[in-house]
Amino acid sequence: MNTLLFCRVMGCLTLSMLAALTVYADELDALDLQSAAPAEAPPGAGKLYLEAALGQASPSGQTGTRQVGRLSLDYAITTSLNNGLRATFSNRLDYFDPEPSGTDTIVNSLRELYLSWQNPAATRVLEAGRINLRYGPAYGYNPTDFFRDGSVRALTTFDPLALRENRLGTFMLRGQTLWDGGSLSLALAPKLADQSSNSGWSVDAGATNNRHRALAVLGTQWSPSVNSQTLLYWQDGNSTALGVNVTALVSDATTAHLEITHSSEPTLLTRTQGATTPTVARNRLAGGLTYTTARKLSLTAEYHYNGFAPDSAEWTALNLTDRGNFLVGRLPLQELASRQAYMLYLSQKDLLRQPLELTAMLRLNAQDHSRMSWLELRYRGSRFDLAAQLLHYSGDSGSEYGLVPDSRVVQILGHWFY
């Protein structure tokens, strides 16, 4: 018996030593590898890419499918002029087939065009022009992103992170001052047009500058683990809104984020009907946690609350047509359609130890329990990406996601970088 035990122990030890030797042999093999030469970006080069998408959409409640396609050209550049002055230009051109309802086949989005000046110590910044000014650390819903409404001209993705890549900036004059542990900025955005334009080639100042607006932001670094932004937002016709967003490091693998705003304004239902009164004082909130494993898997869970969205009783009181109009009307506002919602966002980089990235998202309406599921598998090459996407809506016929015209969209995307 003792001999048997001894043999087992020795066997295990031998195997362990062999395994260790294999590891160390592999380690020494690694020392033969050579680094690639450093690549240099051409000075003053912008970022240009072409994106092509082809897919099939399945209309809700019908058999059969229809083809959907898109071709997009995206370019952004920042050029140094002199004396701390820089110019930024960012533009996107989308061609849709078939033509989406409410817009042209070709939609041009002039996202940014502005001049920026910094002093040599980089403690003062002055900017003027169309600037994409974005706040809020949450993934799926950003109450403190006060310049979000009207900013998306062409909806090309459902990934909330990618959605922000294709939005219009707001024409504004902006100043910022920074000091050790904090910053203060002020943005003034004048009214330039009455309403948004449906013309595909329009600069569309009316989408982002259809009223006078101002935003002051105080950034504070409370500790290495906690950072906040306090925002005061004013727009013509409404009282001042107050917002706070906070991010914190919870552990070596977990971060937390929270956004809260309080404002007095018309309800979302009133806004989608084009009215500006009556106003009510309510809150918006988005909060969540992101956990990352050592193997590059990140999982974000978020809770969303919009005090201005219809509650269950108000939603039930709407007929199907009103619900449809409400859902279409709130899209450009980038507002949460239900009083409460949940979101799960998962990202796995280097899937199967390959240059593959898996991204999945689930949005759940907490009131009617309808769901939006989105899945993307992306291959990352050095100069091109290839992605397969699946978008699926489910829920009762009168629910938020059950009312979406296409219940499922499958598409392949190619992304070429120059």
Partner 1 sequence: MSDKFALRRVIVVGILFAGLSWLAPAAESLSAQKILTSSEAIRIPARSFSATLTLTEFRDGKQVDANTLTSYAMAQTDGRFSSLVRFVQPARDAGKLILKNGNDMWFYDPASKASVRLSPQQRLMGQASNGDVATVNLSKDYRASLAGEEEVVDGERRKRRAYKLSLEAAVADVTYPRIDMWVDADTSQPLKARFYAESARLLKTAYYRRFQPQLGANRPTETVIIDGLYPQSVTLMRFSDYVARDIPPSWMQRDFLPRFQPD
Minimum Å distance from CB 88 to partner 1?
Answer: 9
Measure the CA–CA gap between 51 and 365, rounded to whole angstroms: 31
Considering only residues 302 to 331 of the shown chain, the ones binding partner 1 according to CB under 8 A are none
Measure the CA–CA gap between 43 and 35, rounded to whole angstroms: 23
Task: Confirm or reject binding of residue 255 to partner 1 (CB under 8 A).
Answer: yes
Task: Confirm or reject binding of residue 402 to partner 1 (CB under 8 A).
Answer: no
Considering only residues 61 to 120 of the shown chain, the ones binding partner 1 according to CB under 8 A are 76, 78, 80, 86, 116, 118, 120
Which residue among 5, 39, 313, 317 contacts partner 1 (CB under 8 A)?
A: 39
Task: Select the span of 54-62, 244-252, 260-268, 330-338 touching partner 1 (CB under 8 A).
Answer: 244-252
Minimum Å distance from CB 352 to partner 1?
Answer: 11
Measure the CA–CA gap between 117 and 122, rounded to whole angstroms: 9
Task: Confirm or reject binding of residue 149 to partner 1 (CB under 8 A).
Answer: no
55 neighbors 388 (Cβ within 8 angstroms): no
294 neighbors 346 (Cβ within 8 angstroms): no
Task: Confirm or reject binding of residue 194 to partner 1 (CB under 8 A).
Answer: no
Minimum Å distance from CB 385 to partner 1?
Answer: 7
Using the minimum distance from each CB to partner 1, give the nearer residue, 15 or 48: 48
Task: Select the span of 125-133, 274-282, 367-375, 389-397 touching partner 1 (CB under 8 A).
Answer: 125-133
The three-state secondary structure class of 308 is: coil
- How would DSSP label each residue in 190-230? ----SS----TT---HHHH-SS-EEEEEEEEEEETTEEEEE
Task: Work out the number of other CB atoms within 10 angstroms of the CB of residue 274.
Answer: 8
Using the minimum distance from each CB to partner 1, give the nearer residue, 251 or 277: 251
Task: Select the span of 2-10, 22-30, 204-212, 406-414 touching partner 1 (CB under 8 A).
Answer: 22-30
Which DSSP symbol is given to 63? S
Minimum Å distance from CB 212 to partner 1?
Answer: 23
Using the minimum distance from each CB to partner 1, give the nearer residue, 74 or 368: 74
Task: Confirm or reject binding of residue 352 to partner 1 (CB under 8 A).
Answer: no
Tokens of 331: 């899209």
Which residue among 13, 17, 81, 162 contacts partner 1 (CB under 8 A)?
A: 162
Of 232, 162, 226, 129, the closest CA to residue 385 belongs to: 162
- How would DSSP label each residue in 3-44? HHHHHHHHHHHHHHHHHHHHHHHHHHHHTT--PPPPP-PPTT
Task: Confirm or reject binding of residue 144 to partner 1 (CB under 8 A).
Answer: no
